[in-house]
Structure 1
Amino acid sequence: MQIADLYIGALGVFVPPVVSVEWAVERGLYPAEEAEAHELGGVAVAGDIPPPEMALRAAQQAVKRWGGSPKEFDLLLYASTWHQGPDGWPPQAYLQRHLVGGDMLALEIRQGCNGVFSALELAAAYLRADPDRTSALIVAADNYGTPLVDRWRMGPGFIGGDAASALVLTKRPGFARLCSLASKGLPEIESLHRGDEPLFPPSITRGRPTDFSARIGQQFATRSPASLAMADIQDHMTEIAERALAGAGIGMADVARVSFMNYSREVVEQRCMAAWGLPLSRSTWEFGRGIGHCGASDHLLSMEHLVRTGELAPGDHVLQLATAPGLVVSSAVLQVLESPDWDA
């Protein structure tokens, strides 16, 4: 999807204190061999702060940086990957009550780690469908410090980090431009993150822990069709990234930084950077290794960090690339237009 008329008004983040990998290894929470192999540094841990409260804090920061009114939004999209509060309760309503009000469409997006990409696609179409609509608020939040999931062992090549992020998408001028979006579903790989667990009753209602490592391991151990289809995942990722670059009218040589999910060094290098012969230094791995894989927030956290620390200059392009259960591959290209003065 080529986009020429939508901008990023501001970004907001909430990142709690970080616990080091060394601390986890000393206490037997994280295997020493994995710490050595993956080279991850730490993980953000929010304690008992509810995800909707984290999302509210990130959204408040984004709105403050933007300078507009929270009542101006025409759409609120809330991306999540883990439980947000009492089952059956919509977390986006918490932000409506405490920040933006109820005069807008508000939805929760459950697209795994790619939730923000899906939210951007939906928000772009929604805003462009009506000339009177001007701005959307996209948030993401997760806290994995709950029963039935072990942040240190929940999936291969990553540790689950707690964080929240927010993005203002607007037709008005912003500090960055959303240049393009691209996504692709690979339903032939659907069972990879499901494993051999029954569809009903849902495992969480039976007290069964969520363990993606076990599910994925079962699929590869049995050489399931999904596991065999993973042999082509790199081709699909390259295709979607190239589609996003083409939509933005640029090539990989024009990209200043590449943002991938906050995974281990070998995953970021082999699954992302090696496809274009790029050094790891042009990725966001160094930042991401210190906070963990924060659900759908990874790319917004990385973008906010790059902008706030001056690692991106006006004119720079950022390629964002991710995968999520389903399996879904998503990509976006953003261009920095100015260096915002974010002192809070």
Structure 2
Amino acid sequence: MGDVFLAGIAGVLPPAVTGAEAIAAGAWTKRDAAETQQLSVTVAPADQYSPDLAVDAARLALERAELDPARVALALHSMMLTPGGKLWHGAPYIHRKLGIPAGQCIASDLDCGCASSLVALELATAYLATRDAGDLALVTAADCWREHEVDRWRTSNNPLGDGAAAAVVSRERGFARIAGAATSSNPELEPIGRGREPFSAEREKSTEPVYVRSRFEEIVDGEQIWRTVAGEVQSVVAKATEQAGIELADIDFVVCPFLGRELTLQQFLKPLSLDLAITPWEYSRRVGHIGPADPLAGLDHLVNTEGVHWRHILLLAHGMGGISSAVVLESCTPQHS
């Protein structure tokens, strides 16, 4: 199918609230703070919504790519919460706000949990092979965790941050080539996000905030679950690096979901024998887990804020439902020491 590139990348984040503030307010615990070593999380004001953050990120990514939104033939959007209510989708909203012409673009939401943006990159790569060379794909992800829906500080072991990220995918040119991509789905991991509670009318009607931690605690063998996740991560990384024609040792930086120190090590770095030092850790511990936007936001920080020197970057994600994904990027920009 030929080469496919990332032509533009952008992240948009609201201001941060410190962990110390959350502990003082009784919203967070000192135990979780010590385990995650999270310093702050980004929190959007009440009148700021995730689809608008996604539009802002998309505009910035397109501007950096110096490409016309009218050329977008595929727009994939991911979000865990839908501020437009049930039976509403964010991708058509982003399509409309960007002024992408009607009739030539498939605009669709994609829900693979926190792996969504990387799965979207893989799907976009395959889709562009069927299109004219000048067509583009746009991948966006965004979430704002509202208190009445999710307790950002306590729902999981790691606190949640608000924000958005976007990537422009092109067959013509870009700052990075998508050198390898692999995704694996293990349905045995599906109960992680659901717990053991059966489907019921009472569950559908519940208006209580979601606590993912309590759902996970219903799983009988949590340690086995984590071993399975680690195996899935190892598998997709092996496939993606093989596809890219490199070894894991050739990776300069790795961007994992922003899960705090303990979970990042447990789920991703220790299974791969990688060090926290090659991740954007100091950035992620000030942002929190945005959701599907994490890998793209972390890449944006490395490339556009820190301006790191790199040849290969590995993007990793694991989503509730058992989907693990890895993408290997190869720099198209000459690197100077």
Shorter-chain TM-score range:
over 0.9
1:331 aligns with 2:326: yes
Equivalent position of 1:256 in the other structure = 252
Q: Is contact 1:136-1:170 (8 Å) kept?
A: yes
Equivalent position of 1:67 in the other structure = 66
1:235 aligns with 2:234: no
Q: Which amino acid aligns with 1:24?
A: A
1:10 aligns with 2:15: no
Equivalent position of 1:112 in the other structure = 113
Q: Is contact 1:10-1:62 (8 Å) kept?
A: yes
Deviations 1:17-37 (A, max 9, x none): 011101100110000111122
Note the 1:162-201 alignment, pairs <5 A.
Answer: 162-201=162-201
Q: Look up the SS of the partner of 1:234 in the other structure.
A: helix
CA–CA distance in structure 2, aligned partners of residues 230 and 24 of structure 1 = 28
Q: Which amino acid aligns with 2:113?
A: G
Note the 1:32-71 alignment, pairs <5 A.
Answer: 32-48=30-46, 49-71=48-70
% identity of equivalent residues: 29
Deviations 1:173-211 (A, max 9, x none): 111111111011111121121112333448354313211
Q: Which amino acid aligns with 2:74?
A: L
Q: CA deviation at 1:132?
A: 5.1
Q: Look up the SS of the partner of 1:309 in the other structure.
A: helix
Q: Look up the SS of the partner of 2:300 in the other structure.
A: helix
Equivalent position of 2:240 in the other structure = 244
Measured at CA, do residues 42 and 204 of structure 1 come closer, stay the same or move farther in structure 2, by a change above 3 Å?
farther
Q: Which amino acid aligns with 2:250?
A: D
Equivalent position of 2:86 in the other structure = 87
Q: Look up the SS of the partner of 2:246 in the other structure.
A: coil
Q: Is contact 1:155-1:211 (8 Å) kept?
A: yes
Deviations 1:29-79 (A, max 9, x none): 000111122211110101221111111111111111111111111111111
Equivalent position of 1:23 in the other structure = 21
Measured at CA, do residues 7 and 244 of structure 1 come closer, stay the same or move farther in structure 2, by a change above 3 Å?
same
CA–CA distance in structure 2, aligned partners of residues 71 and 191 of structure 1 = 41
Q: Is contact 2:252-2:313 (8 Å) kept?
A: yes
CA–CA distance in structure 1, aligned partners of residues 137 and 83 of structure 2 = 21
Q: Look up the SS of the partner of 1:113 in the other structure.
A: coil
Q: Is contact 2:4-2:169 (8 Å) kept?
A: yes
Q: Is contact 2:148-2:208 (8 Å) kept?
A: no
Q: Which amino acid aligns with 1:281?
A: A
TM-score norm. by structure 2 comes to: 0.93
CA–CA distance in structure 2, aligned partners of residues 132 and 45 of structure 1 = 39
Measured at CA, do residues 139 and 204 of structure 1 come closer, stay the same or move farther in structure 2, by a change above 3 Å?
farther
Measured at CA, do residues 5 and 153 of structure 1 come closer, stay the same or move farther in structure 2, by a change above 3 Å?
same
CA–CA distance in structure 2, aligned partners of residues 132 and 111 of structure 1 = 28
Measured at CA, do residues 95 and 232 of structure 1 come closer, stay the same or move farther in structure 2, by a change above 3 Å?
closer
Equivalent position of 2:97 in the other structure = 98
Q: Look up the SS of the partner of 1:106 in the other structure.
A: strand
Equivalent position of 1:208 in the other structure = 208
CA–CA distance in structure 2, aligned partners of residues 281 and 185 of structure 1 = 29
Measured at CA, do residues 277 and 97 of structure 1 come closer, stay the same or move farther in structure 2, by a change above 3 Å?
closer
Q: Is contact 1:123-1:136 (8 Å) kept?
A: yes
Q: Is contact 1:307-1:339 (8 Å) kept?
A: no
Measured at CA, do residues 295 and 142 of structure 1 come closer, stay the same or move farther in structure 2, by a change above 3 Å?
same
Measured at CA, do residues 213 and 165 of structure 1 come closer, stay the same or move farther in structure 2, by a change above 3 Å?
same
Measured at CA, do residues 290 and 148 of structure 1 come closer, stay the same or move farther in structure 2, by a change above 3 Å?
same
Equivalent position of 1:285 in the other structure = 281
CA–CA distance in structure 2, aligned partners of residues 250 and 202 of structure 1 = 51
Q: Which amino acid aligns with 1:20?
A: T
Measured at CA, do residues 301 and 28 of structure 1 come closer, stay the same or move farther in structure 2, by a change above 3 Å?
same
Q: CA deviation at 1:254?
A: 0.8
Q: Which amino acid aligns with 1:96?
A: H
Equivalent position of 1:126 in the other structure = 127
CA–CA distance in structure 2, aligned partners of residues 102 and 68 of structure 1 = 18
Q: CA deviation at 1:229?
A: 4.4
Q: How big is the alpha-carbon RMSD for the aligned residues of Structure 1 and Structure 2?
A: 2.0
TM-score norm. by structure 1 comes to: 0.91
CA–CA distance in structure 1, aligned partners of residues 300 and 119 of structure 2 = 19
Measured at CA, do residues 231 and 275 of structure 1 come closer, stay the same or move farther in structure 2, by a change above 3 Å?
closer
Measured at CA, do residues 270 and 227 of structure 1 come closer, stay the same or move farther in structure 2, by a change above 3 Å?
closer
Q: Is contact 2:226-2:267 (8 Å) kept?
A: no
Measured at CA, do residues 257 and 97 of structure 1 come closer, stay the same or move farther in structure 2, by a change above 3 Å?
same
Q: When the two structures are aligned, how many residues end up with a matched partner? A: 332
Deviations 1:195-246 (A, max 9, x none): 1233344835431321110000111xxx25x764443322221111111111
Q: Is contact 1:259-1:283 (8 Å) kept?
A: yes
Q: Is contact 2:75-2:108 (8 Å) kept?
A: yes
